[in-house]
Amino acid sequence: MNSSPGRFSRRGAPKKVIMKYALYLGCSIPIKYPGFEAATRLVCEKLEIELVDLSFSCCPPSTSMKQVHYGSWLALAARNLCVAEEAGLDLLTLCSGCVNTLKEANHILKENDSKRRRVNRVLKSVNHRFEGTIEVTHILDVLCQDSVQDKIKALKARDIPLRMGAHYGCHYFRPSAVMKPQVLDEDEYPLPMHMDELLSFIGAEPIQFGRKYLCCGMPLGANMDQDAGYALTREKLFHIRASNVQALSVVCPSCFEQFDMGQIILGRKYKEKDHIPTFYLTQLLGLYMGMSPTEVGMDVHRIKTRKLLKTIGIE
């Protein structure tokens, strides 16, 4: 008998990590910015990250439903979590708002027995039950994993040598005790820097700017006062321009809308013509992997990207 490993032995074979997520699109991305969805699907396909579409609803936002009716906020979020649990998949979000609601609700329902019991009583009528078996993540966190970065590097077609400002979106990292508990353990001030690192990884120069970690203006505009919301955006743009940022990278469709549509509206009002293009992160990854601007949906941005991309040889 030969005791050495046979041809069917798995020893020595490279360990293949299969990444598979329930894709949580939310509302804004598939409806207002389907280009981001397209870019994300293309990039994930290249990275061999399998995305499964399930029957989700609105998250719902902590900026709106949570402020109006907490119980409804928690129960609807719980239903979305249940749908992913039933498929046995972790949930991948593409929006700073969605990740906030779903991560916080998951945290609350796992920790708080009485709230879980009450929510499950509600969900019973629609045949769901929250068990607490999955985790919620965001595309930015997935792209920053070491194994994924190795793959990104292997897929490089070109660098993106632009002076870029990373914009995370408040709800992506606050409240930090829920959104980034691991950062708190290290006794550091809980502000994220990993999109900045990812941007330098794809050949961009991450630029720091004033008001970087403050509100883009969207919730104030959406709930109460659109002019006040855009006034905040304008404050932010002032600092962004002062730092000579050439383009912004966002991971939230609401932040994108504030900067993209916002610059059109502010431009009309104040006759400001110095427009800074905004990109959704996976669009930039797509460009890095050799996709065309149109393939990743940049053709429909209100602030045009063509001129800027031409300066770095991308057409």
- CA proximity to 64, closest of 74, 56, 73: 73
Nearer to another protein, 119 or 162 (CB): 119
Smallest distance, Å, CB 173 to another protein?
Answer: 9
Nearer to another protein, 198 or 309 (CB): 309
Cross-strand partners of 49: 19
Q: Are 51 and 44 in contact (CB under 8 A)?
A: yes
Cα angle 124-128-129, degrees, rounded to a multiple of 5: 85
C-alpha–C-alpha distance, residues 179 and 96, integer Å: 10
Residues near another protein (CB under 8 A) are: 27-28, 30-32, 34-35, 37-38, 41, 53, 55-58, 60-72, 74-76, 79, 115, 118-119, 121-123, 125-126, 170-171, 174-176, 190, 214-215, 217, 219-220, 222-225, 228-229, 231-232, 235, 297, 300
Nearer to another protein, 38 or 136 (CB): 38
Nearer to another protein, 57 or 145 (CB): 57
Smallest distance, Å, CB 291 to another protein?
Answer: 12
Q: H or E element: which one contains 171?
A: helix 170-173
Smallest distance, Å, CB 182 to another protein?
Answer: 16
Crossing angle of helices 253-270/96-111, nearest 10°? 140
Smallest distance, Å, CB 5 to another protein?
Answer: 45
Q: Are 23 and 52 in contact (CB under 8 A)?
A: yes
Nearer to another protein, 41 or 163 (CB): 41
